[in-house]
Structure 1
């Protein structure tokens, strides 16, 4: 990362890391500020960041190098992508990074600069994020704000933005004012292309994303997976309740996305907002197991049933899909969600598990077991470094379709043995 303080570098670093991990690329952030806080006593004032404070400068340089060394060692042993989160605001510092990362360790390097000269964006970032930093835990907000403004001025005094002439050998992108303009210079390879595409789609406008499963379906009542069934009577009641809930929320410029399956379209039918049908939002394809109960799958395909329990994320139904396949299918949905303002997604259990895993930063082992009950609405409000989550349970009964990971692969809970005959 490159840029002055309060330009959204850590926001970009964390968001990019979450995305790359979600698509299966092992990624980690190395934040130099955390190294500095561990190496020094309690933060006192912006004087620590003065260019003429030689003692502090030595500490800061050592922390930057320690983080860089740890990052490269991690890449050698475990990782695929590392994000070096620091200001890196001088030609000299970036040349040092290049020498360590490329010349010494032989890794590829891509700089991402967040350049911002919009006072409103900068002030909002300082107030929302920086005054709540661990540096200011013992300082009131007004004093913290003033101190941080002085800190920025110290960095400005020696700031050298990425330069296409002087640093023409580097691969980099520059993001101006949170995406109003983007410049890309010499990006190379598949990973860098994905990074560029992703960062060109994100924005920081306030918005909320609502997620809900379709109302209870006829096949849900029978304990059967997949298919394209109509809603049950209780499912139709939920559709009415959902429309009322959304109306009462008074959501500006709401868009509604459903899958192309009947149960999601029927669930969203009463909502007064523009609607889109996404094939990518269709439920996971269970292949030869479509419209079967878990008990039938266990009896007819016991080896497949046990294999899925052993590695649910990577297991692929014969002639069907895996959760890993589903994540790949949903990547365009995530890209478009990042571009949008307020959206309601009406989809399916496996699909919503994947979307929740992205927004809540869940790994591939947790993802297939996230609870997404019927007749529940999840509201996600993206914040500086994560998501605020609110859940609304609509008081309309529905079957429980959640299956926990069994302690013994291939075994089945009692509720799935009896549900078919309810």
Structure 2
């Protein structure tokens, strides 16, 4: 049966693009880049469901894998912070929503679409980003110039290609809602003209899909320049390009499109839209009669910034200590702290970040452990929102309130690096199975152990916490992290690091318990507009 046969006659235009002839899925031409079609019955099984985990303990997983934010949104994969699930995979009270971005190139739309997808998936919302650029790259031909990017190309060939890629993208969005039971689709495109935006709204409304436009406007030239530099270095459009040529090409693309773009305003008065100005400097809401899920989107936008720094993870010393114990660092622990600090500082300097000061008073660090007997001040535990990490050239350290994590920062303290101590970063409480090895747990609690093996992320032993409990506990820190632009170092138990990593790399909750954080590595998460990356930094021994 053809694709078109599965839709009624009055649905044909919707599923094949606005005002277009039906798109043939067979013989449509060779693509230079593979893209995923949501109307494809051969989609891969991304993760074995929990019922299949009972066959045996899974091996620990490498933590330098691929960012999962672009993987197909499967209803069998729950978000780390998901509060409940349904048979359909959609939250009960949220409906179907298309978030359509608008704005010129270089305004951070792709960054915004990817970060929103990451956050909504973490909340358990079945979300997928549809980047029109992916469809363009799949259909691009070498002799097509920047004429392809303007709303009405002069070239007949460019116009045909443009209509084709828009039709394919919208077709996949609508199939995502109808056949894959998707809840939020994010349409990453320029959407330059008011009449097109109105038509988009009308067609989706006919399908009972809410439409929210988010227009990314940038009035700060410094932000535009930085975004252009980032695009020239890391955009999929410029793989293997010389940087200068890529920057010039991207600049020309913006100049070609700028005369056509019309800011959202009076002509869009019937649309629901958000003006997102200078990436969070100011937010304007129009027709803001929103429901639960869109309000979560607005809340996220209020905390979102373009990231320049990285997130570094380091396991705390003696990660296996009893949950109730809180000893100070021993000599080996102090050596670990010293090596950790020197390794990270050397790594930052090697990457052109020389903002960390030389030691101003070494005695400050040595005296710090004894001062921990006093109660931590409010500023040390939780400063006012927006205080930390505002500058791109900054480092903030987060630790739990355990002595050994706080004392691990002493060699950063002498360099005046900000350190914050968060109660939310306390390790997962193991409850009745504390200090037990797996064979002993299996012997003493066979039924509980079987349930744990089936779903180690959500299951909690008696008087214990689950990984899911940690995810809910650290959500305020995730939002605080999103507000920060500089570097962050998190020193904590590996149970905490697994959950943070799961968010930043869009891991399935079924994979999070099996992530492996070696004691002798720092893990760096690098932010990118299209996908995050993870790298290992071996901790050097400076005493050798």
2:298 maps to 1:196: yes
Name the SS of the counterpart of 1:82 in structure 2. strand
**TM-score relative to the length of structure 1:** 0.83
Equivalent-residue separation in structure 2 for 1:349 and 1:241 (angstroms):
19
Contact 2:398 2:491 in 1 (8 A): yes
2:403 maps to 1:262: yes
Instruction: Provide the residue aligned with 2:195 in structure 1.
Output: 92
Equivalent-residue separation in structure 2 for 1:35 and 1:361 (angstroms):
23
Q: Which structure: greater helix fraction?
A: 1
Using a 3 Å threshold, how does the CA distance of structure 1 residues 380 and 303 change in structure 2: closer, same or farther? same
Name the SS of the counterpart of 1:319 in structure 2. coil
Instruction: Provide the residue aligned with 1:312 in structure 2.
Output: 456
Task: Map 1:112-261 to 2 at 5 A.
Answer: 112-130=214-232, 133-136=235-238, 141-163=243-265, 165-185=266-286, 186=288, 188-216=290-318, 219-220=320-321, 226-230=323-327, 234-246=332-344, 248=346, 249=348, 251=356, 253-261=394-402
Please tell me the root mean square deviation across aligned C-alpha atoms, in Å.
2.7
Using a 3 Å threshold, how does the CA distance of structure 1 residues 254 and 40 change in structure 2: closer, same or farther? closer
2:532 maps to 1:387: yes
Instruction: Provide the residue aligned with 1:406 in structure 2.
Output: none
Larger relative contact order (CA 8 Å, sep ≥ 6)? 2
Contact 2:398 2:420 in 1 (8 A): yes
More moved, 130-139 vs 289-298: 130-139
Equivalent-residue separation in structure 1 for 2:521 and 2:235 (angstroms):
34
Contact 1:214 1:348 in 2 (8 A): yes
Instruction: Provide the residue aligned with 2:508 in structure 1.
Output: 363
Equivalent-residue separation in structure 2 for 1:332 and 1:54 (angstroms):
51
Aligned pair count reads 389
Instruction: Provide the residue aligned with 2:438 in structure 1.
Output: 294
Shift of 1:44: 3.1
2:123 maps to 1:23: yes
Using a 3 Å threshold, how does the CA distance of structure 1 residues 232 and 27 change in structure 2: closer, same or farther? farther
2:142 maps to 1:42: yes
Structure 1 portions without partners, runs of 5+: 397-422
Using a 3 Å threshold, how does the CA distance of structure 1 residues 75 and 112 change in structure 2: closer, same or farther? same
Contact 2:425 2:492 in 1 (8 A): yes
Using a 3 Å threshold, how does the CA distance of structure 1 residues 130 and 84 change in structure 2: closer, same or farther? farther
Contact 2:127 2:183 in 1 (8 A): yes
More moved, 17-26 vs 141-150: 141-150
Equivalent-residue separation in structure 1 for 2:104 and 2:143 (angstroms):
19
Instruction: Provide the residue aligned with 1:419 in structure 2.
Output: none
Name the SS of the counterpart of 2:324 in structure 1. coil
Shift of 1:242: 2.5
Using a 3 Å threshold, how does the CA distance of structure 1 residues 42 and 314 change in structure 2: closer, same or farther? farther
**TM-score relative to the length of structure 2:** 0.65
Name the SS of the counterpart of 1:157 in structure 2. helix
Equivalent-residue separation in structure 1 for 2:233 and 2:313 (angstroms):
32
Equivalent-residue separation in structure 2 for 1:242 and 1:138 (angstroms):
35
Name the SS of the counterpart of 2:176 in structure 1. helix
